[in-house]
Amino acid sequence: MESASFAVILSVLMGVVPVSAGAAHKNIVETAIAAGTFSTLVTALQAADLVNTLKGPGPFTVFAPTDDAFKKLPAGTVESLLKPENKDKLRAILTYHVVSGDVTGAQAIRLSSAKTLNGGELRISTHDGTLMVNDAKVVKADIAASNGVIHVVDTVILPDSN
């Protein structure tokens, strides 16, 4: 990677501020709720019984899709995934957004992949100065939580269907 591109990416990532000054005192779920742009994600975490996991000690790195990211899915997808009979599929999708450990944006740009909690691998790259996770853009990085970090993504990241 060219050093100029690296500098641009690093300055963008380092310039991001937490959701609130007290964000580091809240866990990942509480931080997501306080942000106000992750209500679909929080609802999905509840339906998949993952709230307690992400309130746990961690540390976790969450690539968190916004409500707008969920709206990009085909009509009816979210409603279908929230049904009890689709809990396993929902858990697989949500845990594909979570990496064990506390990976900052500056660390992420040096990676080519990261193993997720569901066992799959996320592809990490940069494109035109933007940190990418699979096909999702990281639109805000390094939101601090007491048990990890949140990176906001503009797309729901779906596991490879092998």
pLDDT of residue 161: 54
Mean of all residue pLDDT scores within the chain: 85
Which of 137, 134, 141 lies closest to 159, judged by CA? 134
d(CA 20, CA 23): 5
Mean pLDDT of 123-148: 93
Tell whether the model's pLDDT for residue 8 goes beyond 60.
no
pLDDT of residue 24: 63
Mean pLDDT of 35-61: 94
* Contact by Cβ (8 Å): 50, 95: yes
Mean pLDDT of 116-139: 94
Share of the chain above pLDDT 90, in %: 78
Question: Domains, the chain, ranges and CATH?
Answer: 3-153 (2.30.180.10)
d(CA 145, CA 64): 13
- Bigger pLDDT: 50 or 9? 50
- Bigger pLDDT: 81 or 12? 81
- Model pLDDT for residues 62-103, shown as the tens digit of each residue: 999 999 999 999 999 999 999 999 999 999 999 999 999 999
Tell whether the model's pLDDT for residue 46 goes beyond 60.
yes
Task: Give, to the nearest 10 degrees, the angle between helix 28-35 and helix 39-47.
Answer: 140
